Amino acid sequence: MVSEGPYTHQASDSAYQFIRAALAAGHEIFRIFFYHDGVNNGTRLTTPPQDDRHIVNRWSELATEHDLDLVLCVAAAQRRGIVDPDEAKRNGKDGDNIAPGFRISGLGQLIEAGIESDRLLVFGD
Amino acid sequence: MSRAKKFMYINRHAPCGTVYAVEGLEVVLIGAAFEQDVCMAFIGDGVFQLQQDQDTADTGMKNFSPAYRALGDYEVNRLYVERESLQERGLTEEDLMPLTWEDEDEDWAEKSSIYIVDQAQLSDLMDEQDIILNF
């Protein structure tokens, strides 16, 4: 679980580095669940300065490369304005902003990840 | 699935000021549907989450504290509150909401869900868990 926003807090960076190291060591990553301000990891409108890391694109690339399941909590995402095309339509929004490789789903996905995985790690404050 | 896993939700933040407490409680209530072996721990400012008579009217924010009373109905009936954290904040068990559950095996007897434990006991409890989620 990643529970802090990108750029404000190191949690997103730590999670990313940890996951890369875990994959390199041969571990399987069942799911990455984004909660609280962590859902801001999943907006493709993010535009950091060119000399800084692009946290969102980095997730999208890692997801493509390793077929990762990146899930944004729907309730947390709605509060913070992160929407996919379905959510945009359902809530009458004029656009969506979810980044490639991410999907929006419920908190049950977090609990399921805890049940199905050997370990669940929290990257947050 | 062979057996229910032991889940502990640790609450470390005051109910107001940040979103951690209310969004943490949402996870517990949703997670209850998965029929795991669930408990909660309240440490540090997290003990304020259970304080009686919370009133958020002047803050413009919703008072979600009544939702803790629903935990017993969701079979979340072990709430460990750290004694040292209460003492540091000048609180006693009497300052907390009376949270209860009904024991089906004892003719629906009403029992308290709140357990005051010291740091060493809480440490042992954490050791027993399969999954610990921090809020």
Residue B3's pLDDT band, with cuts at 50, 70 and 90, is confident
Contact between B15 and B23 under an 8 Å Cβ cutoff? The reply is: no
Are B1 and A115 in contact (CB < 8 Å)? yes
- pLDDT of A55 over the 60 cut: yes
Range B70-73 contact pairs with CB under 8 angstroms and sequence separation of 24 or more: B70/B29, B71/B28, B71/B29, B71/B40, B71/B99, B71/B101, B71/B113, B72/B99, B72/B100, B72/B101, B72/B102, B72/B113, B73/B101
Are A36 and B133 in contact (CB < 8 Å)? no
Over pLDDT 90: what percentage of chain A?
99
Whether B60 is in a domain gets the answer: yes
Q: Quick one: average pLDDT of A48-77?
A: 98
Query: What is the predicted pLDDT for the residue at B1?
Result: 52
CA quadruple A55, A11, A4, B68: dihedral, nearest 10: 150
Whether B10 is in a domain gets the answer: yes
Query: What is the predicted pLDDT for the residue at B107?
Result: 95
Order of strands, sheet of A32-34, starting from the edge strand that comes earlier in the sequence: A32-34, A70-73, A102-105
Rounded distance between C-alpha atoms, residue B24 and residue B27, angstroms: 5
Q: What is the ipTM of this complex?
A: 0.92
- Report chain B's mean pLDDT, rounded to a whole number: 95
CA angle A42, A109, B28 (to 5 degrees): 110
The count of structural domains within chain B is 1
Whether B135 is in a domain gets the answer: no
Q: What's the gap in Å between the CA of B28 and the closest CA on chain A?
A: 9
Owning domain of residue B122: 6-127
Give the catalytic positions of A in this structure.
Answer: 73
In chain B, residues with a C-beta closer than 8 Å to the C-beta of A115 are: 1, 5, 34, 36
Are B131 and A114 in contact (CB < 8 Å)? yes
Query: What is the predicted pLDDT for the residue at B8?
Result: 98
Which residues in A17-77 belong to E strands, given as ranges? 32-34, 70-73
| CATH number, residue B43 | 3.40.1260.10
Q: Quick one: average pLDDT of B96-108?
A: 95
Whether B18 is in a domain gets the answer: yes
Query: What is the predicted pLDDT for the residue at A64?
Result: 98
Q: What is the pLDDT of residues A5-29, one digit of tens each?
A: 999 999 999 999 999 999 999 999 9
Structural domains in chain A, sorted by start: 11-116 (3.40.1260.10)
In chain B, residues with a C-beta closer than 8 Å to the C-beta of A36 are: 19-20, 23
Query: What is the predicted pLDDT for the residue at B2?
Result: 60
Are A107 and B30 in contact (CB < 8 Å)? yes
Q: Quick one: average pLDDT of A53-76?
A: 98
